[in-house]
Amino acid sequence: MTTETSKALMRRITEEIWNEGRLDVILELISDDLVDHIEMPGLEGSGQARYRNHVEMTKAAFSDFRNELDLVIGEGDIAVSYGRIVGTNDDENVEMPPTGKRVEVETFGMLRFADGRAVERWGVADGVAMMQQLGLYG
């Protein structure tokens, strides 16, 4: 897999699945046996089901959620993104009640690809900044 292909897949996953909410694209771009290194309360399952659960949980808590990519870099079968997740907390999440507040939080994501699908995922967002913006911390 080329670097340019990996970067294009990262952008496509972010735009189509996360920003447009096209969950059907998960079947095409996420491996059924995806290894997911992201841990968060309430996130269960494995592979495509786990990935779908993460999108659904996020979209439920932030109905206008967007992942705005500022930078995508890659090497071979790996792409790394840096950007901001933005949205209004207008519905319940597993761990918190809706606040009605808008957040904008820096985030990094990394995907490894094989045969045109994400096979491994890592990511981190500034959880403290999110909780502060929601008025739930500090």
Provide the domain count of the chain. Answer: 1
Residue 104 lies in a domain: yes
Encode pLDDT of 80-138 as tens digits. Answer: 999 999 999 988 665 667 889 999 999 999 999 999 999 999 999 998 999 899 988 76
Residue 70 lies in a domain: yes
CA-to-CA distance for 34 and 88, rounded, in angstroms?
29
User: What pLDDT does 91 receive?
Assistant: 80
User: What pLDDT does 98 receive?
Assistant: 87
Residue 64 lies in a domain: yes
User: What domain range includes position 69?
Assistant: 3-133
User: What pLDDT does 94 receive?
Assistant: 54
Q: Could you give the C-alpha distances from 60 to 89, 96, 114, 118, in angstroms and in order?
A: 9, 12, 30, 23
The predicted model scores a pTM of 0.92
Residue 109 lies in a domain: yes
User: What pLDDT does 93 receive?
Assistant: 61
Question: 133 by DSSP, 3-state: which?
Answer: helix
Residue 138 lies in a domain: no
Q: Could you give the C-alpha distances from 46 to 30, 38, 41, 91, in angstroms and in order?
A: 11, 11, 14, 25
Tokens of 34: 């995806």
SS (H, E, C) 10-72: HHHHHHHHHHCCCCCHHHHHEEEEEEECCCCCCCCCCHHHHHHHHHHHHHHHCCCCEEEEEEE
- CATH number of the domain to which 24 belongs: 3.10.450.50
User: What pLDDT does 125 receive?
Assistant: 93
Is the separation of the CB atoms in 29 and 47 below 8 Å?
no
Residue 115 lies in a domain: yes
Phi-psi region of 121 (alpha: psi -120 to 50; beta: other; left: phi over 0): beta
Encode pLDDT of 27-71 as tens digits. Answer: 999 999 999 999 988 888 999 999 999 999 999 889 899 999 999
User: What pLDDT does 41 receive?
Assistant: 82
User: What pLDDT does 138 receive?
Assistant: 67
User: What pLDDT does 40 receive?
Assistant: 85
Residue 30 lies in a domain: yes
Which residues lie closer than 8 Å to 94 by C-beta, 6 or more apart?
A: 41, 42, 57
